[in-house]
Amino acid sequence: MNVSVDGVHKTLCTYEECGEHTDPPKKQTGWPPILDDDDAWYLRSLLESNPTLYLDEIEKLEAVRNISVSMSTISRFLRSRDFTWKAVSRRALEGDEKVRACWEVETAQYPDPDCFIFIDESHVDQKTAQRRHGWAPVGLAPVDRSAFLKGVCHSIFPALSAEHR
């Protein structure tokens, strides 16, 4: 292992001064931050409820928090709090996971798939314009819960069964 004598000496001196083998965090230099922890809480709750907001829409903090900041300040602040801009995961507003789980439990008693014919109403809409990206903390996907269809809808009713005829 190649370790310099000077490196070992610095590590021992730091340990004697601080009680740790690495330097303690340095005091923050430069201008004090414009946005504080309350602003961070507000931005986090705002983006949790609507992750697809654009920076210019978030920029309207002055009306709610009485703070006037630029889009670049908000962007730097979000990135410093580990928020990233990424693809949105869509979930239907009409979907209910509890109802789905109850249905799965009830239908588990029928092992034969030929007992079922599934009918589904499918919609096609020409006016759907949903945002495809949003803000979320690192490691989490932004989730937008909204109605999938807007405007005039055209419907079809397909029926599917396990039997092939």
Is residue 57 predicted with pLDDT exceeding 70? yes
Q: What is the DSSP letter of 164?
A: -
* Within-domain flag for 116: yes
Number of domains in the chain: 1
Element (H, E) at 49: helix 37-49
26 lies in a domain? no
In a domain, residue 82? The reply is yes
Per-residue pLDDT, 101: 86
Does a structural domain hold residue 8? no
Q: Given pLDDT bands bounded at 50, 70 and 90, which one contains residue 98?
A: confident
**For position 17, what pLDDT does the model report?**
80
In a domain, 93, yes or no: yes
Indicate whether 6 belongs to any domain.
Answer: no
Domain enclosing residue 137, as ranges: 31-161
Instruction: Read off the pLDDT of each residue in 36-59 and give the average, rounded to a whole number.
Output: 86
